[in-house]
Chains A and B, each alone.
Chain A
Amino acid sequence: MTQTRQAADAIANDGRGKFPKHKLEELRGRGYVMFCVLLLIVIIFSIVYFIASRGLTPFASQGVSVGEMIGGLKWSPEADTPRFGALPFLFGSFATSLLAAIIAAPLGICAAIFMTEMMPKVGKNILQPAIELLAGVPSVVYGFVGLSVIVPFLRDVFPGQGVGILAGGIVLSVMILPTITTVATDALRSLPAGLKEGSYALGATRWQTISRLVIPTTLPSLMTGIVLGIARAFGEALAVQMVIGNAPHIPHSLTQSAATLTSIITLSMGNTTSGSLHNNALWSLALILLIMTFLFVFVVRLLERRVKHA
């Protein structure tokens, strides 16, 4: 096809040296879209560069060791001998997002099975729009609901203030439910019909077909959805910050106050002066978030490769 195009272009050009109008307009259009794509590349490199340059300063020139940052238990940036142990925040981030995934994954996969295998009509007309709406609700609204419903509820049921990892996990699980459900639904829909028909023809019940054929076959895709959900939960800032309590230590129970990487950045970034050690340490936390994002994307890619090979 390119050859014919080149031939056509050659005829149009005709060697008369005049620059044809349609070529000019093609050139302009191509230039414009190239510029847009170039911008994307510039943006991502500058994000990585700027955040890394700030986030690496504490390690490079301000005497904080990477080991202390990742493994240290004490976060006291304003003390006389400041300590920058971010392990409590790392723990908080992982605990809340994993808890959210543990709650949301079974619900989301069940919702997907409900929509594709059991009641497609109800699924298409009610559940799917409902899920899409859930995805559109702003995170601060989830935070508000968490603060005014879930936290008081937990305070009544369990000892403690009600804020903490459990509250954060519950709020996040509702927020990532749409991600998991959407990916799982797509995976289940794309399953060839012949596969299921074969199973039914052998006399298997619907649940046998689902549990031994549908779920194992689509497992990599389901995992992709779950990882995407965890990634979203890991980066979520405000809703978590509102319900987790923000205490810089590792909690002993799920209903004790805790903190995450995002919540501590949200709270402290505005109150520190730019360039100070405390401020730079917060940028290091942002750098950790950035690296985690790359890691999540990498895992998703690995899983997707498995989907293609299967």
Chain B
Amino acid sequence: MKAKSVDRIMTGVIVGIGFLIIALLAALLGYLLIRGVGHISWHFLTSAPESIRAGGGIGPQLFNSLFLLVLTMIITVPLGLGAGIYMSEYAKQNRLTAFIRLIVEVLSSFPSIVVGLFGLLVIVNRFGLGLSLMSGALALTVFNLPLMVRITEQALRAVPREQKEAGLALGLSRWRTITTVMLPISLPAIVTGTILAAGRVFGEAAALLFTAGMSSPRLDFTDWNPLHHTSPLNPFRPAETLAVHIWKVNSEGLAPDAAQIAAGASAVLVITVLLFNLGARWFGRALYRKLTAGR
């Protein structure tokens, strides 16, 4: 065959595959939304789940997911920022740095179930935090920290050299230069990355089975004292998140409408991830505009 016709055939094949992948995603999203959105209602989003009867909702699970997300980010962001700053600004080119780099790489490739088991062994049992939101948040911190380190490091590395040198030349200490000159410049990138990382926390389940638990106690949404046992804000109560709930309903759900609940909850999860994705892009761009010219 002539080289030209081969070229045309292969172009066709690759373009076809490209569009196939786009179609696949459209079908996946369409399926999830069409099957799920019909089941989403205010009642579904706010009421408690039923184990045997039909008509259960996902209210506590949704709340738990959001609360866990906030807790995790409160712990992860400062630690990840710190380690990221070290990696991009303080680390020298030596064996120790190479070793830390290896650690970050290994840590980010640990299967989430291994991190969950570690959480069960150390955080839940040894530290005695029990199956609780706090244990879940700490396990997810282990999981998310390497991601946060990488986001920060890359964002700081993208800052122009001159900016840093100008800061140092003015006699600012290195730390001051980083926090007052470089961090603001890299903020849009860091924020975008952080929101995307938060989206991952929202959908994570395997690490939570053994740390945050698979059940949610009866929550009293009128009691906002974080020390009370039934208060939703108590970080030391067991909590089943939305993703864990989907898994549980699918593998051992007894309610007659288990399939619809799974479909509805999956749609909620995917819509939230979509919002996180779009939100990250929009917020990052808006922040960039505000920090560069529009002030």
A207 to B270, CA, bound (A): 38
Interface string of B165-181 (1 = CB under 8 A from A): 00010011111101100
- Asked if A122 is at the interface (CB within 8 A of a chain B CB), the reply is yes
A29 to B28, CA, bound (A): 47
- Asked if B25 is at the interface (CB within 8 A of a chain A CB), the reply is yes
Q: Which B residues lie within 8 Å of A60 (CB)?
A: none
Q: Which B residues lie within 8 Å of A242 (CB)?
A: 247, 250-251
Whose C-beta in chain B lies nearest to the C-beta of A181?
B21
Stretch at the interface among B50-58, B99-107, B223-231, B287-295: B99-107
Pair A133/B25 contact, Cβ less than 8 Å = yes
Pair B14/A130 contact, Cβ less than 8 Å = no
A51 to B111, CA, bound (A): 13
- Asked if A114 is at the interface (CB within 8 A of a chain B CB), the reply is yes
- Contact (A148, B259) CB under 8 Å given A114-B14, A140-B243, A207-B11: yes
How many residues of chain B have a CB within 8 Å of chain A? 91
- Asked if B74 is at the interface (CB within 8 A of a chain A CB), the reply is no
Pair A137/B114 contact, Cβ less than 8 Å = no
Stretch at the interface among B37-45, B115-123, B232-240: B115-123
- Asked if B67 is at the interface (CB within 8 A of a chain A CB), the reply is no
A211 to B266, CA, bound (A): 41
- Contact (A22, B117) CB under 8 Å given A107-B17, A136-B277: no
Residue among B103, B118, B142, B179 with the highest chain A CB neighbour number at 10 A: B118
Stretch at the interface among A33-41, A68-76, A83-91: A33-41
- Contact (A290, B21) CB under 8 Å given A35-B82, A43-B142: no
* B 137-195 contacts with A by CB, 8 A: 142, 145-146, 149, 168, 171-176, 178-179
Q: Which A residues lie within 8 Å of B85 (CB)?
A: 33
- Asked if A184 is at the interface (CB within 8 A of a chain B CB), the reply is no
Q: Which A residues lie within 8 Å of B202 (CB)?
A: 138
Partner of A43, one of B28, B107, B274: B107
* B 256-294 contacts with A by CB, 8 A: 259, 262-263, 266, 269-270, 273-274, 276-277
* A 141-156 contacts with B by CB, 8 A: 141, 143-145, 147-149
Q: Which A residues lie within 8 Å of B4 (CB)?
A: 205
Q: Which A residues lie within 8 Å of B206 (CB)?
A: 139, 236-238, 262, 266
Pair B114/A22 contact, Cβ less than 8 Å = no
A29 to B183, CA, bound (A): 13
Pair B175/A28 contact, Cβ less than 8 Å = yes
Partner of A50, one of B15, B122, B200, B262: B122
A204 to B24, CA, bound (A): 33
Question: Main SS of chain A's interface residues?
Answer: helix
Pair A143/B125 contact, Cβ less than 8 Å = no
Pair A50/B121 contact, Cβ less than 8 Å = yes
Pair A118/B117 contact, Cβ less than 8 Å = no
Whose C-beta in chain B lies nearest to the C-beta of A177?
B21
How distant is B193 from chain A, measured CB to nearest CB, in Å? 12
Partner of A34, one of B22, B86, B274: B86
Partner of A40, one of B100, B109, B110, B120: B100
- Asked if A80 is at the interface (CB within 8 A of a chain B CB), the reply is no
Residue among B32, B168, B246 with the highest chain A CB neighbour number at 10 A: B246
Partner of B111, one of A113, A137, A289: A289
Q: Which A residues lie within 8 Å of B125 (CB)?
A: 274
* A 103-126 contacts with B by CB, 8 A: 106-107, 110-111, 113-115, 118-119, 122-123, 126
Pair B273/A136 contact, Cβ less than 8 Å = yes
Pair A290/B114 contact, Cβ less than 8 Å = yes
Q: Which B residues lie within 8 Å of A129 (CB)?
A: 277
Pair A118/B107 contact, Cβ less than 8 Å = no
Give me the 7 closest cross-chain CB pairs, A-B, nearest first.
Answer: A235-B111, A138-B203, A29-B175, A36-B82, A114-B18, A205-B7, A33-B86
Could you list 26 A-B pairs, sorted by A, with CB under 8 Å? A5-B168, A28-B175, A29-B175, A33-B82, A37-B87, A40-B103, A43-B145, A44-B103, A47-B142, A107-B20, A110-B14, A114-B17, A133-B29, A136-B196, A136-B199, A137-B270, A138-B205, A138-B270, A141-B266, A148-B263, A207-B7, A242-B251, A262-B206, A265-B117, A290-B110, A297-B106
| Given A25-B176, A107-B20, 4 new contacts (CB under 8 A) | A136-B276, A177-B21, A207-B10, A266-B206
Chain B positions near chain A (C-beta within 8 angstroms): 3-4, 6-7, 10-11, 13-15, 17-18, 20-22, 24-25, 28-29, 31-32, 35, 79-83, 85-87, 89-90, 100, 102-107, 109-115, 117-118, 120-122, 125, 142, 145-146, 149, 168, 171-176, 178-179, 196, 199-200, 202-206, 209-210, 214, 243-244, 246-247, 250-251, 259, 262-263, 266, 269-270, 273-274, 276-277
